[in-house]
Each structure stands twice: as C-alpha cells, then as structure tokens.
Chain A
Amino acid sequence: MSEGISASFARKYTDGPEIRVEGLRGFAQSGITVLFGASGAGKSTLVRCLAGLERPDEGTIQFGGETWFDSARRLFVRPQERRIGYVPQEYALFPHLSVERNIGYGLREMARAERQGRVKETVSWLGLEGLERRLPRELSGGQQQRVSLARAIVRQPRLLLLDEPLSALDLPTRARLRSQLRQWLIERAIPSVVVTHDRTEALALGDSLAVMDGGRVVQQGSAPEVFGRPTSLAVAGILNVETVQPGRVLAMADGLATVAVGPRKLIAVAPDLPADAGEVYVCIRAEDVILIKGDAAHSSPRNCLPAVVRSLRPEGPMMRIDLDCGFPLAALLTKQACTELALASNDAVMALVKAPQIHLIPRAEV
C-alpha cells in the first residue's frame, strides 16, 4: 500500500481560472477515490498535473517517497517516469494500431513472449477476445473504454487516473459499465482516482470522495461522511443529497425494493435495479423527509421511521434537522414548520419518506 499523494500547487491559465490545490495529504492511498465536482471545478487539471501532462506554475507534488514536482528545486518528473496509468475522457486509442497493439504499447521493454502473455491475459480479463485485430474505429464506445482501461492497467501502474471514464458513453452502456468498472478496479487493487461530475457515478464507483469547487479540493472523506456532513453550504449545494447510507437489497417485487439500512427496512421504487443488486447506497434528500409528531399509522408514505432529533441548525431560510432513526437521517424544514411542531433536541418524531424518493445506487461488492 502506498502513502498516496501529497500535493500543494497552483496552475494558472492565461485569461482563465486558477486551480489551487492546497494541503492534499494521503490522497488516493488505496481503493477508489472519486474526484467530484461541477465541470470547470478543476478536476481534470488536478488529474493531468498528477499524470505529469501539465506542469503546475508553483508548488510540490509527491507520491509515496518520490517528489514528482517541486517548483523551488525546478524538479519535474516526466510522465514517462511516473509509472501511472491514465485513461482520458475520449480514451485516445491510437487510431492506427490494432486493439492488441494498443494494449501492448506500454510493454515495449518486455520480452515478446511475456508481452503477448500479458496482453492476452488482460484481453480475456476484460472480455475483449475476438477483437484483438480490430482497429479502434471498428469498436463500440464501451469496447473502446475497456481497451483504454486495459492499455493503462496492463503495465501494472502504481496509480490509475481515470478522467470522466464513462461520460463518452450512451446512457444504457454507462449504467452497465458503472458497476463493472468498480469491480475491475477492485480486482486489480490499484489505487485509482476517478474524475466525475455525476453524483450517481461518484457514489457507485468510489470508496472515498474528494469534492472540488472553484479550483480547490474542499472536502475529503467517505461518501456517507461527506454527504452527511458537508463542510460548507457550497459543498452541500454541489452534493445536493444529504443522506447517503450503505444498505443491502433484501427483496425485489413489482419494481419495489426492500432494503436493510442499519436496523431498519426501507421500501424504495427501483424498477431498473437488478434483482441481485446486493450492496447499495441509499440516498435521501433532506427536503423529501417529512416529520410528524405522534402516530403515523394512517399516512401514505411507505417508510415511517421512529426517530430522535439530534440537532437543529438554520440553513438559509430552512432548518436542518439531524435525526437518528437507527441510521443518521437529515431533514430540511422551513423555520415556521419547526416552530409549529415545537421541535427540539431529543424529541421523538416520525420521519416519513415516500418510496419513490429513496434512490438506490448499486455498488459492486468489495
């Protein structure tokens, strides 16, 4: 296991934004780190600086015990020497080389037989058999994505950087590849950084999450942590979902999923969820949570959760209420509603959530 990346640097574009990464430590140490943020937040720049494809104007970048960039010492390790894998947004498969030769491109120093063995193994691992002699233009988007991944992984890099790996695909392919991609990355156990601006993708792929905004990394942590406790309103705005909890699908019937979250069972509308989904992230927006005091026996929402109020905090015109219902749940109410309910800490309430407002994101198992 590596010590991950430590970085502090600035990259200024002429007539453009400034990307400033400060005090990044232990980044992408292991597992899959998702770099999440809106487009223009500086995600790609950060990843390209890590790959050595762009040179920051000042600062330092370190990986494990190595220094990759240090402006004070005029030190810059070229991408050739970083031993990383990089999968760009549009895959950039060499158009004049076959699938096989694309994948084997980075193995030149290897003996021919060994190289062929390694390529073959990677080809069958990613299910690319039969396509070895095709040119990239003869492949579908999903196949190109796999070849690009194979080309980067076959060299056994120390760090894998994927820039919006699924954004060039059509929607059905994207949904299918999302869980596969996570599985593949876990199988190879290479620390990976995945850039995305898609929340579903971020939750489906990542072990941990780093949120970028305005050229800065504003928060890092596990998905439930970051979503449940955003460090600022700006981060909360980017994330736009307050409760993210790991859950397990127990049953599927008529497009309704029964999910265990902590000690609770929730019902969610999930017509597209595969029957064997298993591990999922359960996402609930705070504004979709209804609170009542007293009995909820005759209400329509499928999910009625006895809960205890842990804290109340004003958030703009609204009040944010953090609840404990066997798992942490956030609710967003107007101040007026809070007053009328006379909500206070340690009150017992009922939290109601309609089944269509519980969003499930499948995750490949670790």
Chain B
Amino acid sequence: MTGEEWQLVGFTARMAALSTLLILPFGLGIAWCLAKLRWRGKALVETLVTLPLVLPPVVTGLVLLRVFGRHGPLGYWLHERLGVDIVFTWRGVALALAVMSLPLLVRAARSAFEEVNPAFEQIARTLGAGEWRVFLTVTLPLARRGVMGGTLLAFARALGEFGATILVAGNIPGQTTTVAVATYEYVQLGEDSHAWVLAAVSAAMAFLAVLLSESLLRRKRR
C-alpha cells in the first residue's frame, strides 16, 4: 500500500471514530427518551432519527449541504459568529458520518434500554438515586451489550459512508477524501487496481469492526 493509501485509511478511521464519539452522548440521550419516557412528538423524533437509514444518502447529504452551507441557516451562523466552516472541510466529513450512523446507534441502544427490567430502576429510585444516577449505575450497565453493539455498528457504518460525505465534504485530496470516495474516484479514472486495494481495505476494516462487536458482546454475556 502506498503512503497516500495509508493516509486515506488513517483519515477515514479517525473521522469514523470522531463521528461515533460525537453521536454517543446525543444518541444515547435520544435512545433513553424514546425508551423510557412518553411524550408528545415522540413518533416524529423517532421517524426523523431513522430517516437517514432509508433515505438515499445523497438526499441526506443534500439537506445537510443546504443547512450547513455558508448560506444555510446554521452554516451562516457558524461562519459569521464562530468563523467555523463545515462544508468541504473535515468537519463536514464528521458531520455526514455522524448523521448517517446515528440511526444504528439509537435503534440498538433504544431496544437495549427497553429490555432493562424497570424493576431495577424503580428499586434504585426507592434507594434515593436520582434519574442521572439510575441511568449511569443501573440502566447503562445493564444495557451495555446492546449499547456497545450499536456503537460498533455505527462506527462500521461510518467507515463505509459515501453518498452524504461526497455531497457535504466533497473530494479534496488529503483534506476530505475518505476511502469510499477515493475508491469511487479510482473507478471513474479507470485505475481499477487502486480501487481494488481500497475495496479490500474497506472490507477488512468492516470485517474487523463487526467481528470485534460480536466477540465483545459474546464475552459480556450475563
């Protein structure tokens, strides 16, 4: 593998890890609200969160591009107030990966939280624990298998994301190009041998992530 290819793999892995870390607190929060509370608008949030899973990734990318572009509502504010640009930067990559992998984390964590017997949470409350402590000491530890599985699945999904990434972050070599985007480019340029190397790397990374998730889950079985 060439130095350029190593750079691609390293960058993609870092971005996937970053996006997974970003969605973790947020995704677990949503999952908890969906699993444990009854509230107005729950069905709407449920749908919105799951949407990126079924929408064509380019459509999700297009929406993000519009919202976070320099003339978009959020992008404008970020640029004017904080001097931060999202689109066509590495931040755009992280954003696209985060949005695309969020549904997997939320869905897995939600069902894991739902499976925690409420009797344990109720007992914790009668023992004086506030909601935050109940979550950290009872719900989360008891749901850890599902949460870890969901996290690794989200990470694996982020590694291979293509459609949203290319729209939001473009293809700037050394800055926003991920393994998936580079693979596409090589095919376009007719450089099939390069494309196959990257394809093999993608497959290997995905395989490892899923394998790790499975083995972790099995070891942690209660």
User: Is the pair A108, B119 in contact by a Cβ cutoff of 8 Å?
Assistant: no
Stretch at the interface among B16-24, B60-68, B123-131, B147-155: B123-131
User: Is the pair B128, A80 in contact by a Cβ cutoff of 8 Å?
Assistant: yes
Distance in angstroms from A157 CB to nearest chain B CB is 9
Distance in angstroms from A91 CB to nearest chain B CB is 9
Q: Which of A79, A83, A95 contacts B122 (CB 8 A)?
A: A79
Q: Which of A51, A90, A108 contacts B128 (CB 8 A)?
A: A108
B133 within 8 A of A: yes
User: Is the pair A53, B122 in contact by a Cβ cutoff of 8 Å?
Assistant: yes
Within 8 A of B (CB), among A49-108: 51-53, 78-80, 82-86, 88, 90, 92, 94-96, 105-106, 108
User: Is the pair B122, A155 in contact by a Cβ cutoff of 8 Å?
Assistant: no
* B residues less than 8 Å from A78 (CB atoms): 125
* B residues less than 8 Å from A363 (CB atoms): none
A248 within 8 A of B: no
User: Is the pair B119, A88 in contact by a Cβ cutoff of 8 Å?
Assistant: yes
B29 within 8 A of A: no
User: Is the pair A88, B123 in contact by a Cβ cutoff of 8 Å?
Assistant: yes
The majority secondary structure among interface residues of chain A is loop
Distance in angstroms from B178 CB to nearest chain A CB is 38
* B residues less than 8 Å from A108 (CB atoms): 128-129, 133
A151 within 8 A of B: yes
User: Is the pair B119, A155 in contact by a Cβ cutoff of 8 Å?
Assistant: no
CA distance A152 to B122 in the complex (A): 13
User: Is the pair B119, A90 in contact by a Cβ cutoff of 8 Å?
Assistant: yes
Distance in angstroms from B36 CB to nearest chain A CB is 14
* A residues less than 8 Å from B119 (CB atoms): 88, 90, 92
Task: Say which size band chain B's interface belongs to.
Answer: 10 to 19
Distance in angstroms from B1 CB to nearest chain A CB is 43
CA distance A151 to B126 in the complex (A): 11
User: Is the pair B120, A92 in contact by a Cβ cutoff of 8 Å?
Assistant: yes
Distance in angstroms from A159 CB to nearest chain B CB is 11
* A residues less than 8 Å from B141 (CB atoms): 96
B142 within 8 A of A: yes
Distance in angstroms from A98 CB to nearest chain B CB is 13
B138 within 8 A of A: yes
User: Is the pair A105, B117 in contact by a Cβ cutoff of 8 Å?
Assistant: no
* A residues less than 8 Å from B137 (CB atoms): 105
CA distance A84 to B142 in the complex (A): 25
Given contacts A94-B138, A95-B142, A108-B133, contact A84 B222 (CB under 8 A): no
CA distance A207 to B124 in the complex (A): 29
Q: Which of B126, B130, B142 contacts A86 (CB 8 A)?
A: B126
Of listed A52, A80, A86, residue having the most chain B CB within 10 A: A80
* A residues less than 8 Å from B133 (CB atoms): 108
CA distance A85 to B127 in the complex (A): 7
Residues 301-317 of chain A: 1 if any B CB is under 8 Å from the residue's CB, otherwise 0?
00000000000000000
Assuming A86-B122, A86-B123, A108-B128, what are 12 further A-B pairs, CB within 8 angstroms? A51-B126, A53-B125, A53-B126, A80-B126, A84-B126, A88-B123, A92-B123, A94-B120, A94-B138, A95-B120, A108-B133, A109-B128
Nearest 8 pairs of A and B residues by beta carbon: A106-B127, A86-B126, A92-B119, A79-B125, A92-B123, A79-B126, A96-B141, A53-B122
List, sorted by A's number, 16 A–B pairs whose CB atoms are closer than 8 Å. Answer: A52-B126, A53-B126, A78-B125, A79-B125, A82-B126, A83-B128, A84-B126, A88-B119, A90-B119, A92-B117, A92-B120, A96-B222, A105-B129, A106-B127, A108-B128, A108-B129
